A = this chain, B = another copy of it.
Amino acid sequence: MKGLTSRQAEILEFINRFIKNNGYSPSMEDIRIFFGFRSPNAVTCHLRSLINKGYLSKEISKARALRLKFSSSGYGIPVLGKIAAGRPVLIEDFSEGFLFSQEEMKGVFALKVKGDSMKDAHIYDGDYVIVKKNVDINNGDIVAAIVEEEATVKYFRRIKNKVFLIPANPSYKSIEIKENFILGKVTGVLRKL
């Protein structure tokens, strides 16, 4: 993660505070007025920098749609790298990033797996698959799709113009479906113990 200039840090801080105080994102105009810029482009440029450096994301042309990537409310599960034997282990130490950060959770839902049609891909009955919508899907990816009014999880394979769902268990058959019945790409598997 790249460092911020002091001006960029001020602007990020303003956005952070604004969201906390108001419950919604500031508009670029709000930022412009607060900092006294005479041009809206000053804000545009600063936001671009913050986005490029990975501190912020926004939706193009959408009003008040800024999203902080590292909100101080700190969602997510920290992944520990090295663990000091000294103890006690502090989550704050040696973090190697976060699972399920706000960014990762965007456009994501989960389905509970029934049956063993994906057991050879190590997805078992009772597991949850984590599905991300609106992402590119390639042959060999695991996808969630609707088949006969039910959600199902299978390998994705496109052959010419046809789309097939292929189970990871030889006792089940492949089926052909229409592409718009694909719900999304399976980006993770979670098993609760």
Contact = CB atoms under 8 A, between A and B. Distances in A.
B63 A27 contact: yes
A160 interface: no
B110 A77 contact: yes
Interface string A19-50: 00111110100000000000000000000000
Contacts of A105: 21, 75-77, 100
A23 B62 CA distance: 13
Nearest to A148: B85
B146 A83 contact: yes
A186 interface: yes
Contact of A80 (B88, B102, B151): B151
Interface string A88-105: 110100001001101001
Most B CB atoms within 10 A — which of A85, A99, A187?
Answer: A99
Given A24-B66, A105-B77, A187 B193 contact: yes
Interface residues of A, number: 61
B79 A24 contact: no
Interface stretch (A1-9, A122-130, A167-175): A122-130
A97 to B, nearest CB: 9
A69 to B, nearest CB: 10
A67 B25 contact: no
B64 A23 contact: no
A64 B191 contact: no
Given A79-B109, A193-B186, A64 B63 contact: yes
Interface in A144-193: 146, 148-151, 180-181, 183, 186-193
Contacts of A79: 109-112, 128
9 contacts: A24-B65, A25-B25, A64-B64, A78-B109, A79-B110, A83-B111, A83-B183, A89-B183, A188-B190
